[in-house]
Structure 1
């Protein structure tokens, strides 16, 4: 049986998946049945509308400007 998670926790998982470039199906799998694929698609659309880059997480991982100082 899966543990229940809050909406904020589910949104955090979706945000991390989105900003690292994972497809919606992968984000839905990460939630392991705790959210529907339609809900994940809606959250991805919200993030796109907010102008958040789907690669923001990857860009920050490889940003050398912060590590050079």
Structure 2
């Protein structure tokens, strides 16, 4: 039996999905049974309001200057 996911863990999944440019539906699918699509939409909206870039994770992943 798996342990239930905490709200902080679910938010971390949503944050990672958002910052790598995944659509809300994909993030909701990652959290199937742990969070509703409405909750994921709320979290995406909160990240947008906070000014978090939806491409921040991709920019970090492909940052050639950081690799030097």
> Which structure has greater helix proportion?
1
Alignment RMSD, CA only? 1.3
2:5 counterpart SS class: coil
The unaligned stretches of length 5 or more in structure 1 are none
Q: By how many angstroms is 1:5 displaced?
A: 0.6
For residue 52 of structure 2, what is the aligned residue in structure 1? Answer: 52
- After superposition, the C-alpha distances for 1:35-68 in whole angstroms (9 at most, x for unaligned) are 0000000000000000000000000000011112
Show structure 1 runs of 4+ deviating over 3 A: none
Unaligned runs of 5+ in 2: none
TM-score, length-normalised on structure 2? 0.93
